[in-house]
């Protein structure tokens, strides 16, 4: 009877260690999604600044579009000799922002349908798209008559 209990204990401890191992191997799926989610959460709590890590070129370009449209005050890149960090200064204008995954194709003819699906009004908010001319908002893509892929939105 004592040996059966020991066998059960060993199998239980073995299954726990596999679960711990699986938890240790979690990977970050979308850096942009994590960054935008951190910004929205900090904005909802009323924070004035938020730290985003890790940094990427896509996150920096997305923030430049937000800065150009006045949804954030400024951002500073912090080089830590790793993946990098960004300190974003919030101004209270951001209600929601998000990533569209997968990155759907769109042409400059389809801009209105995407605006109707993602934004609460045609008058405010932007859809960020990546094109052959770089990362820009949907209005600039319509002016330049270029298509590409939808990255995300903010309003």
pTM of the model: 0.82
pLDDT value of residue 26: 81
CA 139 to chain centre: 21
Our CA dihedral for 12, 17, 18, 22, rounded to 10 degrees, sits at 140
What are the C-alpha distances in Å from 127 to residues 21, 46, 66, 123? 39, 24, 10, 12
- In terms of residues, how long is the chain? 155
pLDDT at 55 over 90: yes
pLDDT digits (tens, 9 = 90+) for 88-146: 999 999 999 999 999 999 998 999 999 999 999 989 899 999 999 999 999 999 999 99
35 contacts 151 by C-beta, under 8 angstroms: no
Mean pLDDT across the chain, nearest whole number?
89
Residue carrying the six token digits 């912090």: 78
């Amino acid at each position: 009877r004592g040996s059966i209990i020991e066998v059960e204990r060993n199998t239980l401890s073995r299954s726990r260690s596999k679960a711990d191992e699986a938890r240790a191997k979690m990977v970050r799926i979308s850096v942009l999604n994590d960054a935008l989610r951190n910004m929205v959460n900090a904005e909802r709590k009323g924070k004035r600044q938020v730290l985003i890590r890790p940094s990427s070129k896509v996150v920096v370009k997305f923030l430049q579009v937000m800065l150009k449209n006045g949804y954030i005050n400024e951002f500073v890149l912090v080089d830590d000799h790793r993946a990098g960090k960004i300190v974003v200064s919030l101004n209270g204008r951001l209600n929601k922002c998000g990533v569209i995954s997968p990155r759907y194709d769109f042409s400059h003819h389809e801009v209105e349908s995407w605006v109707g699906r993602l934004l609460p009004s045609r008058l405010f908010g932007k859809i960020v798209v990546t094109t052959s001319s770089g990362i820009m908002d949907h209005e600039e893509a319509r002016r330049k008559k270029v298509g590409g892929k939808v990255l995300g939105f903010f309003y």
